[in-house]
Structure 1
Amino acid sequence: MRVVHLLTASAAAVLAVAGMTAPATAQTEPGDTARTRHIEVRRDHPDVRVPVVVRKSGEAIIDLNTAAPGTDWAVAGAESAVVSVSVDNRYATDLVVSGGQPLHRQLALGRLTAGVHMLRLHFAGERSAAASRSVVLDTLRVSTYAPGSPEYLALRYAPVVYGRNISALGSPYQNATTDTPLIAWHQSAPAATPGHTKLTYSVVWSNEDGGTNTPALMARWGRTTDIEWIYDVEVDEHGNRVAGSDTYQAANHQTLHFSGRYEGDHALLQTCTSNNNMCDTADDPMRFFLSPLQTLPAGQAREYLMDTNPWTYEIMAKEMLREGKIEAASATTPATPEVSDQRNYLYAVLKKTTQATNTGASWVGVSLGVRLVNGDTVYLSHHVEPTWSLQRDDAAATTVELPAGTTADDIAEVTAHRVVVGTDTGAAVHVTGIKRGFFLGQDYLPQQSFLTWNGDVLLDGATTSAVIWRR
């Protein structure tokens, strides 16, 4: 059961008794929930306090629209403003806000019992860009999910991720300017024990400063964000954690058993590597408690979560610009693997199945090709680097770099190409679909998908390429 709470008449009375002025006005619309409107959290001003009346105990989330005038993730020294959110003086989460346009965010707050609670919103000046002065929060809403609701288990065991604090990378507040956590989600599946459930939690970061290089990210993963599973846990038929079942993704992508601390049922993790792997000790000053309520539908690539949160593409592109990972416009050409303006790429998701084991030093991948109406050149997603082709099966995202200014109408055909890595294993590949294809607009947000295809094309040693879509 979901219960929504906010500043009500009784909560306003609590403020009056405490000698405070309500920071926002609650408005209730027919068929809607109460919300506070237009809270401004300002540098060098007292913290904003918002009372919340909880009618039924449960795991809480907070929905809000956010904007930070004068900030821009693409500009060094103006990247973001940070608001630290506490509940009853318990530090819950940081919120990194970039840009002056309102953006919807959803965060977790942990368990709240029935009664009156106090949200405290603090402008974290030491974590914010010097140019930032305030954060505007609008339509703030707190909801709780009680035991028995479909969402309760996912919220109950959601991990808290402390920020990255690698001394070689400078500031202890690194995630306020780079590789910041953007969104989280969970997946639920039957465990090996009948009646038990396995919950897996994943995060999208704005980039990874280590690990896969930028051109390879675009070719092999179809984006320059970093997407990782971070934690999983098995729960029994009563919804209780199976002792010793929880694991996390550690350095070098190892899976290790969690032996750290819990806050209630929430495991405390920390980002400990430059490519956003976890450790189970937490001592960084920043803390991220993203809501994991989003899920990944079966058959979708993980990038589906970015597609449904399109603002993540804008943050992705702006970080590449600020960090100098985009080649100069004067040198831009699809003939080189260096990443150009990310608006020059076709963003596609390919479905395929390999008819053999496809691991080890030798394997068979697939590359996506694009030919334009005004020429014979085929632009390839892997830039003729075999290891940048798509190795994983089913839905896999990739990008194809095209000449600047290319539009959907310029594309004549899309092709699939069999790519051999190492020694040819003889594996055949069935290419069965393109789930979406789009460009980024001038604002770096995804435009409408114009490219879908379903079929079955076999690529093998005799047929190494085939047209899978033609205008």
Structure 2
Amino acid sequence: MSSRARHAVLALTGAALASAPLALAPAHAGTAPGTISLHRGGPARSLTFTARRDGEAVIGFSVAAPGVSWAAKGAESAVVSIAVDGRHVTDLVVPSSTPTARSLGLGHVRHGRHRVTLRFARGSAPAARRVTLARPRVTLPAAAQLALRHAPVVVGRTNGPLNDPYQNATTDTPLIAWHETKPAAAPGHQIIEYSVVWSNEDGGTDSPALMARWGRTTDIEWIYRVEVDAQGRRVDGTGVYQAPEHLTLKFTGRYEGDHPVLQTCTQNNNMCDVVSAGAPLRFLPDATATRPAGRAREVVMDREPWTYQIMAQEMVREGKIEKPSDPATRAVGDQRTYLWAEFAKTTGAARGLGSVPGVALGVRLKADPSRLYRSDHDEPTWSIDRDGAVATTVELPEGTKLSDIASVEAIRRPIGLGDNGAPATVTAINRGFLLDSSYLPGPSGITWTGSVTLTQQQPTAVLWRP
């Protein structure tokens, strides 16, 4: 039987779609045609589905909130609360009036008929009046059951300077999630790690350093890791989470089935396993996605271009963008002026005492090839010392197009005092793009593969020319 046929068959009916006829999609899913509309102060709407077996369910739709903009104070988002059979499962923050494909976990459901209830929820911005959810669909994806089964529930942040239990509806909102697996020491066992992309971080690394060292102003954090046996059961005592100060602590909190319940409890989106009583927002992201092998974590954003738009809009609304943009300063300028690049590097053995070398990217433009625009802004600690595929950005003059770029080069730079002499080898530029006028990624126009070794004696090398 094909994997498509092994998916659960779900029949959806439209209590929310009153006069719409029932339409069944292929065998892996059922889809209710039409659009569900939720209004401020209006009734909840619902749909039902029939699960042909026990398993973890996912709901997906194209969602928009007219009048909402993550860039505008007082219009940041609309919040949709989602319940299954009367139990609050997850919330969805809708930060845009543009229809966007979103999906969320619904948790474990048993064989039989179930009701999903959606309502316009508290925490929505004053300007938000309506949410539309087009083409709702519920699936039990067979290939992702293990990852969905152990995915964490993330309760919204309620502490900090804002002192607002609904603050994740206006700042540092969770956007997307994914999981990664690797073999455990025990035969047949594996370790699953879950990560979340947040729209920003109100604490932690400052924005200019994020752009230079991580190639983004979103916050990307692993939040939970667990070992499972050959039958997919959690191995007792193996659950750990990323705690404040980026510590890895044993999870001792509450589970809902196999889902650990965590809470965002710091300004840089670290977790606690003790949850505040009465916290109103909770998120069960769809964690079915994985990261392509050999690529930086930021590539999960590339597959969801709307995340760049929300990232940039939060920076604008929170006044974190320099006006006018000036690549000669270290402040973050208009994010549409940056080259967003991902490259791969390795560091060799140290040959003496001193700090490890990092690598930065430099860009020269055809109009003035004598000037070098650097990703690290000539700040030693902003060069990248970690190995593998890494992301960075290079600020360029406003109006620059990819066709204006004359070359991209690699620059070896020790990150602290002294130089331990280790070589750094760059082997690829995986992508290089600009954001368009709407802050969405344009096509990648810069790629390169090869091998260039940077040393104390030869610290720079051209990687790419058009």
Task: Pick the TM interval, shorter chain.
Answer: over 0.9
> Per the alignment, in what secondary structure is the counterpart of residue 26 of structure 1?
coil
Aligned with residue 322 of structure 1, among 311, 317, 342:
317
1:416-427 to 2 correspondences below 5 Å:
416-421=410-415, 422-427=417-422
Structure 2: state its 5+ residue gaps.
Answer: 1-5
Offset, 1:32: 7.9
Alpha-carbon distance between aligned partners in 1 of 2:227 and 2:26, rounded to the nearest angstrom:
41
1:316-348 Cα shifts (integer Å, max 9, x gaps):
00000000000112xx21000101100000000
| 2:125 aligned partner | 129
Offset, 1:99: 1.8
Matched, 1:65 2:59: no
Aligned with residue 56 of structure 1, among 53, 57, 66:
53
Distance 1:161 1:361, change over 3 A: farther
Matched, 1:466 2:450: no
| 2:42 aligned partner | 45
Offset, 1:297: 1.3
Preserved contact between residue 25 and residue 31 of structure 2 (Cα < 8 Å): no
Which moved further from structure 2: 287-296 or 24-33?
24-33
Alpha-carbon distance between aligned partners in 2 of 1:285 and 1:420, rounded to the nearest angstrom:
46
Letter in 2 for 1:71: V
Matched, 1:356 2:361: no
Offset, 1:361: 8.1
| 1:404 aligned partner | 398
Preserved contact between residue 8 and residue 28 of structure 2 (Cα < 8 Å): no
Offset, 1:120: 0.8
| 1:108 aligned partner | 105
Identity of counterpart residues, as a percentage? 54
| 2:30 aligned partner | 34
Offset, 1:356: 2.6
1:288-314 Cα shifts (integer Å, max 9, x gaps):
100100001110100110000010000
Preserved contact between residue 345 and residue 424 of structure 2 (Cα < 8 Å): yes
Matched, 1:198 2:191: yes
| 1:171 aligned partner | 164
| 1:392 aligned partner | 386
Alpha-carbon distance between aligned partners in 2 of 1:245 and 1:151, rounded to the nearest angstrom:
21
Offset, 1:101: 1.4
| 1:181 aligned partner | 174
Preserved contact between residue 356 and residue 420 of structure 2 (Cα < 8 Å): yes
Alpha-carbon distance between aligned partners in 2 of 1:40 and 1:438, rounded to the nearest angstrom:
36
| 1:93 aligned partner | 90
Preserved contact between residue 206 and residue 312 of structure 1 (Cα < 8 Å): yes
1:174-228 Cα shifts (integer Å, max 9, x gaps):
1000000000000011012221100000000000000000000000000000001
Offset, 1:27: 2.5
Aligned with residue 232 of structure 2, among 227, 236, 239:
239
| 2:144 aligned partner | 151
Alpha-carbon distance between aligned partners in 2 of 1:167 and 1:411, rounded to the nearest angstrom:
43
1:39-79 Cα shifts (integer Å, max 9, x gaps):
00111111112112222221100011100000000000000
Distance 1:435 1:253, change over 3 A: same
Matched, 1:248 2:241: yes
> Per the alignment, in what secondary structure is the counterpart of residue 27 of structure 1?
coil
> Per the alignment, in what secondary structure is the counterpart of residue 140 of structure 2?
strand
Letter in 2 for 1:438: F
| 1:444 aligned partner | 439
Letter in 2 for 1:94: D
Alpha-carbon distance between aligned partners in 2 of 1:21 and 1:255, rounded to the nearest angstrom:
46
| 1:22 aligned partner | 18
Offset, 1:170: 3.0
Letter in 2 for 1:366: V
Letter in 2 for 1:108: G
| 2:286 aligned partner | 291
Aligned with residue 379 of structure 1, among 370, 373, 378:
373
Alpha-carbon distance between aligned partners in 1 of 2:10 and 2:19, rounded to the nearest angstrom:
16
Preserved contact between residue 40 and residue 137 of structure 1 (Cα < 8 Å): yes
1:218-244 Cα shifts (integer Å, max 9, x gaps):
000000000010000001122111110
Preserved contact between residue 45 and residue 118 of structure 2 (Cα < 8 Å): yes
Alpha-carbon distance between aligned partners in 1 of 2:39 and 2:366, rounded to the nearest angstrom:
53
1:263-302 to 2 correspondences below 5 Å:
263-283=256-276, 284-302=279-297
Offset, 1:129: 0.3
Q: TM-score, normalised by structure 2?
A: 0.95
Which moved further from structure 2: 113-122 or 302-311?
113-122
| 2:12 aligned partner | 7
Alpha-carbon distance between aligned partners in 2 of 1:300 and 1:167, rounded to the nearest angstrom:
34
| 1:140 aligned partner | 136
Q: TM-score, normalised by structure 1?
A: 0.94
Alpha-carbon distance between aligned partners in 1 of 2:354 and 2:258, rounded to the nearest angstrom:
41
Distance 1:32 1:265, change over 3 A: closer
Preserved contact between residue 11 and residue 24 of structure 2 (Cα < 8 Å): no
Letter in 1 for 2:384: L
1:394-426 Cα shifts (integer Å, max 9, x gaps):
100000000000001100011100001221011
Alpha-carbon distance between aligned partners in 2 of 1:222 and 1:22, rounded to the nearest angstrom:
47
Alpha-carbon distance between aligned partners in 1 of 2:17 and 2:348, rounded to the nearest angstrom:
67
Offset, 1:7: 2.0
Distance 1:32 1:264, change over 3 A: closer
| 2:430 aligned partner | 435
Matched, 1:209 2:206: no
Alpha-carbon distance between aligned partners in 2 of 1:419 and 1:222, rounded to the nearest angstrom:
18
1:107-148 Cα shifts (integer Å, max 9, x gaps):
001111111111111111x30001111100011001124xxx
Alpha-carbon distance between aligned partners in 1 of 2:77 and 2:124, rounded to the nearest angstrom:
6
Alpha-carbon distance between aligned partners in 2 of 1:174 and 1:167, rounded to the nearest angstrom:
10
Structure 1: state its 5+ residue gaps.
Answer: none
Preserved contact between residue 2 and residue 143 of structure 1 (Cα < 8 Å): yes
The number of residues matched between the two structures is 455
